[in-house]
Amino acid sequence: MVRLDRRHFLFGSALCGLAAWPLMQSVARAAQPKLGLLLPGRRDDGGFMQAGFSGFEAAAAELKADVVVVDGVRPQKDDLVAALRRIAAEGPSVIAAHGGQCNEAAKIVAADHPRIQFLVIQGGVEGANLTSYEVLQEQSAWLAGAAAALMTKTGTVGHISGIRVPPGLKGRAAYAAGVAHARPGVKLLTTFCGEQDDAALAAKVTAAQADADADIIFTMLNAGRTGAIEACRARKIHQIGNVRDWVPVAPDVFVASAIADVSVAMRDAVSDAVSGRLVPGKHVKLGVSSGDAVRLALAPGVPEEVRVAITGYTADIAAGRIVVPTAYDGPEFSL
């Protein structure tokens, strides 16, 4: 369901969940910015969309900004264009669109609104009033592949994602490369199931990969991840999460998490745009050398030799000794 919210952030409101705010018209305040956010998914999906929303919420609270948030939009270009135009009509100075699936829509709408600064988080588009901020999740995905290859007992590992958007495709390519680099003989099963938020579908694909001998599966899902967790638990296999650290959430299932904290990119982008630090048209990238935003979190029970290997691989990626690929042309797993 598509939702449009107009809010005003008061000092300290980041301590409250957005769901608790009453629906109301923004109060126009000349000294305060007005910000827009488009989420092509649910703000409470427990994954990528929620992380982006969290970063936006934090930036808006710091800036004491009026905000317009539209979420629940289908990740189709026409729907995204319509949603961005709806936000632009509210008159914000900055609009952030979350996810590479917003690339084309942002280009179209930005061209029609030259006075608004558009941001695409995890995007790959630039223009006079259009800037992309990207957390290089492919770097932590590469590390996830290496860890999976080093820890598998069956010699087969899996990957499940939803829709084929650029960040997801890059992440799959990187994961495959990490598997091959760490242990070339390991078999990879990779699937794009077509939905990020369908828990039943994710469970079905997870079970199918488990039946094909995968004992560690890297999931790049949003709300659908709950289905993958239950299926892993039922089959007594392990999972590697993404975006945030999933190990504390289900320690019996997760052996690692490929952290790519897009909340950092969102917060930085919005703050930079409002403060004037933003360089129009510049593609800002945050990777393993940029702090803790991109890293592989390992469960306490991961063997020391795997930890040592991951530390070394991380340093090699940061130094450019390992180049993380962004394209994959290998086989895909089908049910």
Query: Is 88 in the same domain as 154?
Result: no
Q: Are residues 112 and 213 in the same domain?
A: no
Dump pLDDT digits (tens) for 93-121: 999 999 999 999 999 999 999 999 999 99
Please indicate, yes or no, whether residues 308 and 171 belong to a single structural domain of this protein.
Answer: yes
Q: Are residues 187 and 312 in the same domain?
A: yes
Same domain, 60 and 167: no
The torsion angle over the Cα atoms of residues 78, 161, 126 and 110, rounded to 10 degrees, is 20
Cβ-Cβ contacts under 8 Å for 170 (sequence gap 6 or more) = 137, 138, 141, 326
d(CA 162, CA 28): 40
Q: List the domain range (segments joined by +) for residue 175.
A: 137-260+303-319
Reported as type and span, the H/E element at residue 44 is none
Q: Are 243 and 98 in the same domain?
A: no
Residue 77: CB atoms within 10 A of its CB come to: 14
Tell me the pTM: 0.80
125 and 86, same structural domain? yes
- Candidates 68, 72, 88; CA nearest to 28 is 68
92, 36 in Cβ contact below 8 A?
yes
**pLDDT recorded at residue 91:** 96
- Residue 69 in any domain: the answer is yes
Question: Is residue 73, in this structure, part of any structural domain at all?
Answer: yes
For residues 192 and 310, membership in a common domain is answered with: yes
| Other C-beta atoms lying within 10 Å of the C-beta of residue 329 | 6
**8-38: per-residue pLDDT in tens?**
543 333 323 333 333 333 334 446 899 999 9
All residue ranges of the chain with pLDDT < 50 are 9-30
Q: Where are the alpha helices (DSSP H) in the chain?
A: 48-63, 77-88, 103-112, 137-151, 166-182, 199-211, 225-235, 262-275, 304-319
Domain count for the chain: 2
327 within a domain of the structure (yes/no)? no
Q: DSSP per residue over 258-297, as a string? A: EEE-HHHHHHHHHHHHHHT---TT--EEE-GGGSTTEEEE
Q: Of the candidates 221, 223, 224, which has an alpha carbon nearest to the alpha carbon of residue 240?
A: 221
Instruction: Identify whether residues 309 and 173 lie together within a single domain.
Output: yes
Report helix, strand or coil for 157: strand
Residue 330 resides in a domain: no
Q: Based on the fold, state whether residues 175 and 239 are members of the same structural domain.
A: yes
Token representation of residue 140: 């932590």
| 99 within a domain of the structure (yes/no) | yes
Q: Specify if 281 maps to a domain.
A: yes
Q: What is the CATH number of the domain that holds 77?
A: 3.40.50.2300
Q: Is the domain of 148 the same as that of 186? A: yes
pLDDT at 2: 66
What's the pLDDT score for residue 1? Answer: 58
Q: Are residues 227 and 315 in the same domain?
A: yes
Tell me what pLDDT residue 88 has: 98
Q: Is residue 329 part of a domain?
A: no
CA of residue 298 relative to chain centroid, distance: 19
